[in-house]
Structure 1
């Protein structure tokens, strides 16, 4: 009962609604892209389901049975020629029509359409965010809040102040620390790790739109009697207003920079899976963890929900492109192997590979759910 109560406390009704909406839209567009690329090439799509599980509603339109299913998370399309077909004796065999009859490039186009749509959706959401809120200015640290009664409040620092220099040195855009690029605004944290006298150069918006610059000098001790001291500010990068073009360019750059992080996150997940390590980390969340994040975002602001939706679509795009049989990336790999061989894999080979891949994905999903639930014990 404690576990159920813990999960219920982590999730809010509004958060669950937004989880269903964000997942539903992301998966619907993913599957719609598969559908569109198949139909453009003359391949029949037998069914298209919004949701999973028992079918609540169905309607035939343009040769496809459109379904609404009970579980609002997920969806699927049944493209003619992707599943095995029966011969005259009722035995399963390699399909010869529809998707199976397409050239290799046509098959890849159908399979690639879903992940590419999630990627484009993530870029669109990111571009909208940057165009509306500005792009991060990593060489400036904006104070987001000041704790009441803190040392920062005593020094006269306020929410909205922007730290542009520390000890007379301008903050860099990025700097190299232990072989990694670190944002310049994190220099605030570095300064507060060092004892001595520090000076922050702070810009503050004044009446009439003017910006005033002031110096804030103070003596600092990182620890007192073994206890870590806090200045009492929460900060992040400042923002710079840009047009749609620059917002899109920044979105592309951010996506490229995110690839190594996604690779590291999924590599870490696979290592934990193969070693049955259910310890928690912040890199990969299961359905409960994702719903919890969305619940918190829903309580903050609409832009927080947009950021979560952006990350979710990036993750969906990357995960589906992994070369694991059963996923889009695995199917693309089998198509390319067949093209290189000059003939497709045999029915038995493809079935065995796809079954193994599907089993692996199901076990991985179960593992992620177990990790999600285990933290409530």
Structure 2
């Protein structure tokens, strides 16, 4: 099987469709937020495109040309006063109206609106998920499946059992391992990493029971498995409780996301194509969506949450060409008391755009290299 066949086998038509829909919706709402904040401040928006590349359909409505473009990836808005103005003699100059005439806070508001929209979508989708599916209980581990012919089956453990205590101690909400915080239910894995007598307190049909056994973590150098698939238990939650949990979960995810971006940049600068589970390219993303589509609609919602959160914070990285880079240039101009010259701004933006394109190419190459 060649590389193209391997890639095709990893994807599904339904997964590709859902990938385009999820990314398309996230990008559309991101650009719509830029559009709304510009219009709210009286700045004209020349065009709004859904998709990139050649324009298939166009219609002017309320002073904006709305476009449907060929490539169903991304989109853009042309806000008056953001691009250089061409004079009659073909010379370009800095714009003086529209976006350029806004105060610093107004410019930052327009640029910040897109990432904030993706962050709002992240929290909104997460709140909907928690309110509908329940809030994870970090101090309880629910057994989702017991593998056939496993030690867990011989001990009488069943799917649906909830582990509430280990070795007579209640599972804590969190614990620290190697300096990193973890949810308490994950401590079961570390408990089974050591040999000795173990006791699990299991809740089944409202009744607690003790499951005691002697455990060898490894036999002849082979790590032993108890034979269960488990996850945090979930408990019903009101809408306010779901909202608070989504805020806390988002806050906990941000440092992990920033570390993942840091790892990506480190690998980019060292041309390290080794794989990890933290950052996926377009093929990896489509593969994840394909797998989620085969599971449940809520799995797709979880993917949409991750994509929106990633899009929000990636765009805030202060690289010229991204929203964060544009905000940085606005703030530098405000501190200087005057904007950068056209030549300076163009040089910075070209360098930033080239960097982003190289980074994207690196991610794609790393993505494809998995199939060699």
CA apart distance, 1:348: 0.7
User: What is the match of residue 290 of structure 1?
Assistant: 285
SS at match of 1:252: helix
User: What is the match of residue 326 of structure 2?
Assistant: 331
User: What is the match of residue 18 of structure 1?
Assistant: 18
User: What is the match of residue 176 of structure 2?
Assistant: 176
CA apart distance, 1:236: 1.2
Kept in 1: contact 2:46–2:63 (CA 8 A):
yes
User: What is the match of residue 95 of structure 2?
Assistant: 95
User: What is the match of residue 373 of structure 1?
Assistant: 368
User: 1:319 and 1:301 mapped to 2: Cα distance?
Assistant: 27
User: What is the match of residue 65 of structure 2?
Assistant: 65
Kept in 1: contact 2:175–2:187 (CA 8 A):
no
What does 1:171-320 correspond to in 2, within 5 Å?
A: 171-205=171-205, 211-320=206-315
User: What is the match of residue 39 of structure 2?
Assistant: 39
User: What is the match of residue 109 of structure 1?
Assistant: 109
Could you say what the CA RMSD is over the residues aligned between the two structures, in angstroms?
1.0
User: 2:71 and 2:148 mapped to 1: Cα distance?
Assistant: 46
| More displaced 10-residue stretch of structure 1: 25-34 or 251-260 | 251-260
- Residue by residue over 1:141-200, the C-alpha shift from the partner in whole angstroms, topping out at 9 and shown as x without a partner, is 110111011111111111110001111111111112222212211221122122222111
User: 2:344 and 2:83 mapped to 1: Cα distance?
Assistant: 14
SS at match of 2:271: coil
User: What is the match of residue 86 of structure 2?
Assistant: 86
User: What is the match of residue 345 of structure 1?
Assistant: 340
User: What is the match of residue 208 of structure 1?
Assistant: none
SS at match of 1:202: strand
CA apart distance, 1:297: 0.6
CA apart distance, 1:212: 1.3
SS at match of 1:231: coil
Task: Point out where structure 1 has 5 or more consecutive residues left out of the alignment.
Answer: 206-210
| More displaced 10-residue stretch of structure 1: 59-68 or 187-196 | 187-196
| More displaced 10-residue stretch of structure 1: 325-334 or 252-261 | 252-261
User: 1:125 and 1:217 mapped to 2: Cα distance?
Assistant: 41
User: 2:264 and 2:359 mapped to 1: Cα distance?
Assistant: 9
CA apart distance, 1:240: 2.0
CA apart distance, 1:326: 0.5
User: 1:190 and 1:114 mapped to 2: Cα distance?
Assistant: 41
User: 1:369 and 1:39 mapped to 2: Cα distance?
Assistant: 36
User: 2:197 and 2:362 mapped to 1: Cα distance?
Assistant: 50
CA apart distance, 1:22: 0.2
User: 1:58 and 1:339 mapped to 2: Cα distance?
Assistant: 37
SS at match of 1:69: strand
TM, length-normalised to structure 1: 0.97
CA apart distance, 1:202: 0.3
CA apart distance, 1:52: 1.1
TM, length-normalised to structure 2: 0.98
SS at match of 2:346: helix
User: 2:341 and 2:191 mapped to 1: Cα distance?
Assistant: 63
User: 2:347 and 2:136 mapped to 1: Cα distance?
Assistant: 48
CA apart distance, 1:341: 1.1
User: What is the match of residue 138 of structure 1?
Assistant: 138
User: 1:367 and 1:92 mapped to 2: Cα distance?
Assistant: 33
User: 1:217 and 1:188 mapped to 2: Cα distance?
Assistant: 14
CA apart distance, 1:328: 0.4
User: 2:72 and 2:208 mapped to 1: Cα distance?
Assistant: 53
CA apart distance, 1:347: 0.7
User: 2:185 and 2:68 mapped to 1: Cα distance?
Assistant: 48
User: 1:226 and 1:108 mapped to 2: Cα distance?
Assistant: 58
